């Protein structure tokens, strides 16, 4: 399993190296957008009965826990 993961990672890195800097930046923004949507959908599934304001509060609370404070 680990060998397959390493092979996939190598293929992915080679594909990224073929992209222009603009394409790599767009890819980074797309991945960031995707993970944000995935995070929000996960929270909605976990707390489906929260109202909009309660959900926003929960979202910001959780994002605060994820924030990288190393800089």
Q: How confident is the model at residue 67 (pLDDT cuts 50, 70, 90)?
A: low
Check whether 34 has a pLDDT greater than 70: yes
| Long-range Cβ contacts of 56-64 (<8 Å, 24+ apart) | none
Q: How confident is the model at residue 71 (pLDDT cuts 50, 70, 90)?
A: very low
């Amino acid at each position: 399993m680990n060998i397959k993961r390493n092979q996939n990672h190598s293929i992915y890195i080679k594909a990224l190296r073929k992209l222009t800097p603009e394409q790599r930046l767009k890819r980074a923004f797309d991945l960031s957008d995707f993970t944000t949507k995935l995070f929000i959908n996960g929270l909605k599934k976990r707390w489906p009965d929260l109202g909009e304001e309660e959900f926003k509060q929960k979202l910001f609370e959780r994002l605060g826990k994820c924030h990288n404070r190393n800089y």
